[in-house]
Structure 1
Amino acid sequence: MNNKILNELKDHQETLQCVIDTLGDDIATACEMITSTIKNGSKVLLAGNGGSAADAQHIAAELTGRYVKDRQPLPGIALTVDTSALTSIANDYGYEHVFSRQLEAFARPGDLFIGISTSGNSPGILAAFESAKKLEVKTLGLSGRNGGKMNGLCDLNIIVPSSITARIQEMHILIGHILCTAVDDLFD
């Protein structure tokens, strides 16, 4: 195996070990947040930009389709997929409002908004958290670095202890899969 590949794998392993050592309780709390949302018949809405948008869509798909268990479809909505809404809102209100406007349209008290930003400072995600609070929607952040401005806006911000975007995103999708496992465990 060449050194570049080995270094990438070791870096991933080190980040994963930090997550194991420091974030277990936060991940357990996040699992409780999503399972209580589903048990109460409420929705999970997700958003992110770039790779984080892909993660939001991935998690939503695991809910509406299935993760591991063959179970009923669940209300997981990625706010990143409607190109007409994204472009019209960006054009009329500014890109920083593409997620907050959709939350205002779809979210209700008791729903859960999961905002994903590796920096914790994405303006559109921050605006969405502000809207979610006004709507009495529970908020879960997945971030990295030092958590950024999301720290003051989320009910819980899970901060991956890394400054490397790739490592942060790898842990975000792992955490997303753990959330989906918790949801699957609700069903026989």
Structure 2
Amino acid sequence: MGAGLRNNSKEAERIVSSLQRAASLKLALAEDPMPIIAVVEACDTAIRAGNKLLFCGNGGSASDSQHLATELLIRLRGSVVRNSWPALSLTLDASALTAAGNDFGFDEVFARPLSGLGRAGDVLFGITTSGRSPSVVRALQVGREMGITTVGLLGGDGGAARALCDYALLVPDFETMRIQECHIALGHIILELLEDRLIGADR
């Protein structure tokens, strides 16, 4: 019997365990939907006032930032016809990121462009699974100083980012993979509800 077949039962158990853990974390977030609704309200208010949503994060959270910004700017659901709404991922511009990192230090790679692109009334999503990413923490700090509404998609105990967020959505776990799975689910839920609200405004 090959090694793959011998390990099959253990791998199956691991798959079931991982999926159960992912589901249990999402259900934990469902226990109190009001913080999520509060974020939707803040985003709705910002866009109706002519402001925008901004996103930042590192690594996998950088991908989530681009993913969510794109779905607002272009489209979330293929069956929905609606306008494009203003959203920007601060992770996209390699020239700006590397210049900020080289000239000001990596902690400033999001804060520096935010200081030029953001304005009071915008909403900034800082995505960090630990709540301790210095570049995201610094962006949230600068955002607050500018009068930007700050939202954290966080994990664990929320780290230093938690105190800098007007709205903190905290995944109660310390495993990066599981937190990231919840972050993108939260992002999709927020954008789905926001899309439903703004379609009415477009009409």
Fold match (TM-score > 0.5): yes
Q: How does 1:28-47 map to 2 (within 5 A)?
A: 28-47=37-56
Shift of 1:18: 1.0
Give the equivalent residue in structure 2 for 1:49.
Answer: 58
Deviant stretches of 4+, over 6 Å: none
Shift of 1:85: 0.3
TM, length-normalised to structure 2: 0.89
Q: How many residues align?
A: 187
**Secondary structure, counterpart of 2:109 in structure 1:** helix
Range 175-184 or range 137-146, more displaced: 175-184
Where does structure 1 lack aligned partners over 5 or more consecutive residues? none
1:159 aligns with 2:159: no
State how far apart, in whole Å, the 1-side matches of 2:144 and 2:16 are.
43
Code of the residue aligned with 1:80 in structure 2: it is T
State how far apart, in whole Å, the 2-side matches of 1:115 and 1:64 are.
18
Shift of 1:70: 2.0
Give the equivalent residue in structure 2 for 1:187.
Answer: 199
Counterpart selection for 1:119 from 130, 133, 142: 130
1:70 aligns with 2:87: no
Where does structure 2 lack aligned partners over 5 or more consecutive residues? 1-8
TM, length-normalised to structure 1: 0.96
State how far apart, in whole Å, the 2-side matches of 1:182 and 1:20 are.
15
Q: How does 1:117-156 map to 2 (within 5 A)?
A: 117-156=128-167
**Secondary structure, counterpart of 1:187 in structure 2:** helix
Is the CA contact (8 Å cut-off) linking 1:99 and 1:125 kept in structure 2? Answer: yes
**RMSD of the TM alignment (CA)?**
1.1
Shift of 1:177: 0.5
1:176 aligns with 2:176: no
Identity %: 38
Which of 1 and 2 has greater Rg?
2
Range 2-11 or range 89-98, more displaced: 2-11
Shift of 1:36: 1.1
